[in-house]
Each structure stands twice: as C-alpha cells, then as structure tokens.
Structure 1
Amino acid sequence: MFMKKIVDDARICLLKQLYRYYRMGVSCLLLSPTLRSILEPALSSPSLEISAAEGDFMSVVDLDICGMTEIFKLSFSPKDTWEFYLYLKSINTLSRLLLSPYQLLTLQYCTAETLVHLAFTMANNTLCCTHKNKNIPYIEELYLEQNVSQHNGDTLLSVSPFVIVEMLSVLSHYRLSNRSRCLKSLTDLQTLLLYDDGIYVPLELRDLSWQILGICQHVVGDLHGALHSYEESLRQQPYNRIKEATQIRIECVKQQLQENIEKVGLDLIKTCEAIIQHHKPDPIWNPQAKRKRGHPTDYCEVLCVN
C-alpha cells in the first residue's frame, strides 16, 4: 500500500508506528477518538459480559511448541562459500530490522545453523557425498563411526550441537598448535558430559558424545583418558549403533599403550647402561706386569678397582 507513496525515513517511521499498534493489540482502537467514544460506554457498562471461550485459546507452551516445530523444519544446505556469503549477508540485513520475538528466534536459529555448516566446511574440509538424496557431511575424525553406522543401516549420526562445537574447537586449536585453548575446549567438553543432566546432551545421544570425547583425548595424546571415554561409550544406549567402531578404537588405544610401555622399558635399559658406562672405574697400571713383560711401552695390564 505504501511501497511507492512513502519512502526512506518516513516509511521506517510508519512501519515502527504500525508495529507499535500491532504490539498493543485491540487496545490500539481506543487511540481513535471516534472509536473510543463508541467503545468506552460499552466497555464500562456493568451489563457487558464477555464469555471466555477457553477452547479458542492456546496455552503459551502449545504456542511455543508449534513455533519451534515450524522453525526446526527449516533446512540449510549451502553448497559452496558463495552461498554461505549470501546466507550471512541476508542474516545481517534481517538483523537490522524490527522483528517480533518469534521472528528473532527464527533468525537466531538460522544464524546458528549457517555458522555450524560453515564451521564443518572450513575447519574440517568437509567432504560431501549424496546418499538417498541427502547430503551427508563426513568429518575425518568420525569417518570410522560413520562407516560403521551406515553399515548397520543408519545414514546419519545424531549428536548434540554443543558436543560438535566443542569437538571442532578442540581439533581446530590442536591443528593451529594452540595447546592452551585446545586443552580448555577439551576440559569444557568433558565437563559438559560429566555434569549435564540431559538438557544439552540428550541421554540417548551419549554413546557418540562419549566417543567424540575419547577421539579428542586420543588426538591430543591422552590415551588413558581416551580409553576411559571409549569404555564409557559402550555403557551408553547404542542409539547410533557404533559399537564396532568403539571396540576398534579401544583395541587401537590398548596397542598404543602397550607400545609405549615397551618403549619406556627400552629407554630405561638404555638409560641404565649409560649410567653404568659413565660411572665405570678407571684402569690403573700394574707395575709387576710391566717388569715381567719388558718395556712399559710394549704391553700393559690393568687392574679394575671398585
């Protein structure tokens, strides 16, 4: 209606005013002198009764559920960095507008989804393949789990986004040789799994979540911690059906631990030999041997004394 008649700042002011009326609801009609003169007598009449048709109203909980259901139906699958750029540019433009609470929530969800997909692409060199008309992102560190899960009939792995974010943080800082940030993210991930009661990491997704913690600990060299996390993964509900992958990783860690023990044993033997060689007593001349055998420069016998 006002697209061509009102432009620039005037249009923005008008939209803000209309939105204010929208937020006020039906009571905005009382701002009109004409309507106010008609409505006020009727509203102030003691004989006026307004029936509460409870069946026509939705509870706040039901309304939130409907809103979240619609939001979660949104899907984002950018194919390249150019599409990521367009998504982020659109999000930046929408963030400057005056949005309702549900619109703002939807925009925040879209932003998070876009950034998660972008993180997969940039931090992990995501390799995408098409399977049953669905794009499945492959993460190098989860390649074994994805193969086992697909072999068992599942095309996708289910994991909490909070766990994925911490995993990406650990791996990214590790590859950037930022050890302090890497260990901090690893601690945050471990704390999340130890103390969360299902709010951030659903109980049915704990098998892969503990597996991811073990993988991160394995990458940074904490073999004992990784072994504990893998064993904890086996004790969880096998929702993602990755038991075979967990068993393979446990055997790998045990083999590395055994190799480390053998290496430590060899290093200890070499160290002891070096210490003995360093403290070996110096030889001394035996004068009697010199007299028996002739000139001292021809032969020499030595005695080792402790």
Structure 2
Amino acid sequence: MESSPQQICGGIQNMSESVFVGLCDIIGTSQQVVIRRETVDIREMVDRRVMHNDKVIGMVSGSYREGFRLKGSDIDTMFWPNNHRVIMDMSQSEYYNTANTTLILSDSSESPPGFTLLQLLTPTRYRDVQSACVRMNDRVYISSSIYRQLTCSVAMSNSTVHGPCGSGVVGGIEYDTAVCFVSDFWPLSASSWIDRCHSWPDPEVVDDIVRNGCHFVAIGHPLGPHENQEWRFSFSQAEYKLAYSMNHCQFLTYGLLKFFLKEVMNQQSEETNKLLCSYHMKTTIFWAIQQNTLPHWCPQNLLAGFWVCFKLLLKWVYEGVCPNFFIPQNNLFLTKVHGSAQNRLFLQLHELYKKGLACLLQGSSIRSYIIGVLYNPRLYIYTDESILRSEVNYDIELINDYYTALAITADLFAYTKLLHTMEQLVDSPLTHYQVVTIQKLTAFILQNTVFMLQKMYTMLNINKQMYITDKMSCHMLKLAAKFGFISDMLYIAMYYYKTLRYREALSVIEMTKVKLAQPYLMYRGRVDRERYIEAVGGQSWSTKMRQAVAQDIILSTEICYISELIPEQQSALQNRESTLYIPVFVMLHFLEFLCYRHIDTTLSQAALDELQVLVHHDEGLYVDDILRDISWEILGICQQITGNLQAALYSYQQSLTQDPVQNIQTATHRRIQDIL
C-alpha cells in the first residue's frame, strides 16, 4: 500500500535516522570518509615535497577527493606545470624568480564574472603553452581552446575533449583530466566570499583556502567576447576543503542530493535530464550550510536538511539564477536553464515538491530504508557508527585506497629526497591512517631504490662495491617486507632472481605461498571476516599487513625488475603510464616458473600449469578484470619461453581482447610478430 506524503512526514525523525543509516551503508561512515581523505592527502603531500620545479603537478579533485566512492562516479584529476604561476596584478610578480618561473597575468577586465584572459608575461619552455599563444592588442595570450586540444590526452591517451577536460574510460571507470594553471593568490572577484564566512566555514579553513589560491581551467564563457581565449576560475581545491569541513550529516545530505539528481530529477524527461549536474547540487549544499537555514545538522534532521536544499534549488530554477558559491555574479544557469527548458524543468521539480518527501521513494538507492520505517514506524534506528561498521570494514577501506603509487621520476636523487621526506613526516603529527600510508610508501621507495642500485653497480662492475650494495639491498628489501604486505616478499624473490640466486628466490616464494594460502587472507577487499578477526583482530595495522593482507605487485615502468617484462614496461611508458600492476598470484607463479627453469624443468612446467589454470579459469577472485591484459601477457611469455608458440600466440591474442588498461598492446603486437 502506498503511503501519503503526510504519513511520511509524520515519522520524519525516525525516517531521517533510517536514511542516515542507509547513506552510511552506501556512502560510508565518517571514519571511512576520513580514511579516504587522509590517505589521498598524505600521498599528494609527499609528491609535492619532492616534485621538481620543471615537472607537472597532479591533484585529485571532485567527488573522489571529497570522500565519495560512489559506483559509476568518475575520477577527476587536475594537472598544471609547476614552474608556471598566474598573478592577479603586476605587483605580485616580485614574489617570483622569473629565471625559473613563467609568469602569467589574469586579466578579467573584458570577461564575464568567473572568467578571465591569461596574458603570458615571461618566456615559457613548455611547448604546449608556446603553441597555444595568440596575439591580441599587441599582447600575447594563452588560448584556452588551443591549449585544451593540445593537452586533453596529456594524462591518458585516447581521451576526448569534454568541457575543459580530457575524458575517457579505463577499466570501466570514467575519468576527467584537466590541464590547467595555478595561482597562489585569491582572486579579487571572489573577495565577497571571504566576507560572507561568518558561521561557516571556520576562520582557519577560510585562511587556508585563501592562502592556497585557485586554478584556471581551459574553457571560456560561451557568451563572452573571447570564448576561445578565456579561462574559467576553478575553486576545486577550496571545494574539497569545504567538503572536509562539513559534519557527516551535511556530507550525507550532499550525497543524498547526488542520488536525488541521478535517480529522480534526471529521470523525469529526456528534455531536462542534462540541465542540472552534480556541481549544482554541491553549490546548493554550500549555500544552504552557509546561510544557516537549518540550525542543527544531525541524523534526526537529515531529511529536513535535504528539504531546505531542494527548496533552494527550486527557487533558483524558478528565477533562472544559480549563483556560483565563490563568485555569485557568475550565474551557473546562464547558458542552459533559461527559456522553455527552464519552464519545463521548474514544472517537473514543482511536481516533485508537491509530493513532499515521498518524492524520495522514486530513488532506488534509499527507497528500502524509507519503506522499512513506513511499515514499522516504532522501529528504533541505531545511528552509532561503531555498530554500523566493523573493524574489517575500516581495514578494507585502508587497503582499497592504497591504489596510487608515487608519481615521481625513477632516479636515485629523487628517492633519497623521498626517504628524507618520510623521515621528517614520521616526526610530525600524523593520524593512524596516515602512518599506515607512510609505511607503504616507504616500502615502495626502498624496493625501487634497490633495483635502481642493482642496475647502477652492475654497469660499473666494481666487485667490492657490488658486494656492499648487495648486502644493503637485501637488508632494505627485508625491512620493506617487515612493515609491508605479504605480497612485498615477492620483491625479495624478484631481486634474488635478477641476481641469479634461484634457490634463495624459490625459498622466499614458498614462504609467500604458505602465507597467501591462509584462510583469513585479505586480498582486493575480499576476506573471510570471521577468520580474519579470529587471526588478527585488534592487532596493529603493521601486524595485519605483514600476516594477513596481500596487494597486487606494483612495478615502475622506468625500473627493470625482471628482464622478461621490459617490453611491457616500455610499451606502458611510451603511453605515459608510470606503473604496471600485476596480480600477486600471477606474479607468484611467474617467478616460480622462471626460477625452476634453471633448476628443475618438471617443477617449472608445474608452475606454468598452475599459472595457466589461474588465467584461464579465474572469475575475478584472484585476477581482476582490469588486470587481465597483463595476466594473459605473462602466461604467453612463459609459453613462448618453453617453445609452445601456438599456446603463446593464443594468450597474446587474448591479452589484446582485454580492457587495455595498462597500455601494453605495443609489446603484445611485437611478441605476436616474433612468433609469426
């Protein structure tokens, strides 16, 4: 039986708590969101500290950076040249050394609010910037449209232009990458925002945001006088800091608005489903919080908060004005929500408004939580997060967020600087989650340093130095394995294989096999929860990682670990991939096969048989879909080594049919040519 809006509003507090629990299930508890944010923050901070002045800096932005991990959401990343800076007026040039920094002047005098021209003041060595320069009124400006075309594929090949970004799909995940410019200064046109911040956010957050300036993305205003040359102010950095400063109920309300947009508003008609976007929802929640419309944002008031936001959005659609949160004169509805489209959208939203909170029943994500309360209005809802999530949930969250290696050039100087940075960070105040991330990054640095040292001293061929370096390398790898995952033991096996110590490598492989066979193993977020808690519950994260957790093997494409994989690394590197990811069980059998080739051909064939069964028959348990290209490739390499060319050809062909996530196709085609 359908419930009336009046019945729904009657149990508003209980229903709000139920929706709070539902959103915690889908979006995450406050602790899960903190884990996601802090692990991304610490990795980015490490990258920034060691980044060369002439390199490109990357920043994860959008909903992923804010702490969402919603199914189907894209991942937004911004990139900018570290040695280019935008200033707001000429007096700010005194803060920079123009010998190593290119200066750009923001000139908003002829542009609509929220947009600007970028005038190149000093020479640039950045080829894409040079190519995007145009001359207007005897001045040199950087054309946003030319720059966008030149750089849309700079982060990922095969990207297509979408707004100011290069867009595409990798491993089933959509991505947007924007190559932009950064300013260390807060724009004058956004100064009114500072004056508005009385109740939210806190003064220290405001200071931090203003101190870190803004960005400029390559898109002009369609109604502006210089659309192809103009750039849009981007406050992505400020926005994720504002999201961080929300309480969890506010953050969940923001998430509810996202679901409402996707599952309700955008399902009304094809005519209107492209008029509103998630950025409008973000703008709505920002204004609603700052205007202090709802005094208490708590689980009992969650739906009241949603309703405040919905009414504000309805008002904006009626008026045809959605004011940008930082520059209110910039109307985000100006080019889309106007005329007949605006009227249709308003009528559809007004129909939803007349239904009251019952309109949420049209959304599939939270419908069941609302219906549960309707059928049992006296139901007591537990909103205590310690009940909603267990220790295992938080452990999985920490594991899942590890999937970013450090984006640095593979040279010893950079890694020495990194280790020094880690040393400094250990002495600084860090959260529990940041300590775990630092541990893993340190293991990553030590492992890669070893393989770079091995290459360097092999080339120099100085026996005494090679002996000392080898002792030191073994110590570093064992140290990394002590505070790393079970899978980090395989880096020791790789090193032994590379230095021709096959029996020692096999000894490490056997130990790793035993650990990976434990029934409580956590791998790729899968785990037998009861056995895991029984084995390592309540223990330190270092103990858990070392005894019960495995990760995929990460190889830098610039470092040689196993000579048999050099073509794949080179192929990925040519396509701007800094890392290769290999399933841990695939690497285990691969190394076992390679080592036994020099000791026992029967056992070598047995290892190959195990690898073949794994690659042919695994259904995502040990070989993730996005890593099937490299898995088939490795199977083919082993088959080609044994002389089974027909089987190798089939494996390489299978590799080419997989999602080309890691860009190894060039190597695969070459291997096929070698066979043919």
Alpha-carbon displacement from aligned partner over 1:118-168 (angstroms, at most 9, x marks no partner) = 111110249xxxxxx997343211111111111111122111111111111
Contact 1:193 1:201 in 2 (8 A): yes
By how many angstroms is 1:199 displaced?
1.4
1:119 and 2:542 are equivalent in the alignment: no
By how many angstroms is 1:58 displaced?
4.5
What are the residue-to-residue correspondences of 1:129-278 with 2, within 5 Å?
A: 136-176=559-599, 178-254=600-676
Contact 1:88 1:111 in 2 (8 A): no
- Give the letter aligned to residue 396 of structure 2: I
By how many angstroms is 1:66 displaced?
3.7
Alpha-carbon displacement from aligned partner over 1:20-51 (angstroms, at most 9, x marks no partner) = xxxxxxxxxxxxxxxxxxxxxxxxxxxxxxx9
Q: Higher helix fraction: Structure 1 or Structure 2?
A: 1
Contact 2:557 2:577 in 1 (8 A): no
- Give the letter aligned to residue 389 of structure 2: S
Q: Which structure has the higher relative contact order (CA within 8 Å, separation 6+)?
A: 2
The 1:247/1:134 distance shift into structure 2, 3 A limit, reads closer
By how many angstroms is 1:237 displaced?
0.7
How many Å separate the matches in 1 of 2:672 and 2:637? 11
1:84 and 2:474 are equivalent in the alignment: yes
How many Å separate the matches in 1 of 2:386 and 2:669? 55
How many Å separate the matches in 2 of 1:134 and 1:143? 8
By how many angstroms is 1:190 displaced?
0.4
Q: Which runs of 5+ in 2 are unaligned?
A: 1-380, 402-432, 451-469, 501-555
Contact 1:174 1:220 in 2 (8 A): no
Q: Which runs of 5+ in 1 are unaligned?
A: 1-50, 93-106, 127-132, 255-306
1:59 maps to what in 2?
Answer: 389
How many Å separate the matches in 2 of 1:218 and 1:90? 33
Larger-gyration structure (1/2)? 1
By how many angstroms is 1:209 displaced?
0.7
By how many angstroms is 1:111 displaced?
4.5
How many Å separate the matches in 2 of 1:89 and 1:229? 37
By how many angstroms is 1:89 displaced?
7.5
Contact 1:136 1:156 in 2 (8 A): no
By how many angstroms is 1:84 displaced?
3.2
How many Å separate the matches in 1 of 2:630 and 2:667? 10
By how many angstroms is 1:182 displaced?
0.5
More deviation, 136-145/229-238: 136-145
The 1:227/1:84 distance shift into structure 2, 3 A limit, reads same
- Structure 2-normalised TM-score? 0.25
The 1:146/1:196 distance shift into structure 2, 3 A limit, reads same
- Give the letter aligned to residue 62 of structure 1: N
By how many angstroms is 1:214 displaced?
0.4
Q: How many residues are paired up?
A: 181
- Give the letter aligned to residue 59 of structure 1: R
The 1:195/1:166 distance shift into structure 2, 3 A limit, reads same
How many Å separate the matches in 1 of 2:658 and 2:396? 29
- Structure 1-normalised TM-score? 0.52
Identical aligned residues as a percent: 29
How many Å separate the matches in 2 of 1:124 and 1:90? 18
The 1:54/1:139 distance shift into structure 2, 3 A limit, reads same
- Give the letter aligned to residue 596 of structure 2: H
Calculate the aligned-residue CA RMSD, in Å. Answer: 2.9
How many Å separate the matches in 1 of 2:562 and 2:498? 6
How many Å separate the matches in 1 of 2:479 and 2:629? 37
How many Å separate the matches in 2 of 1:231 and 1:90? 37
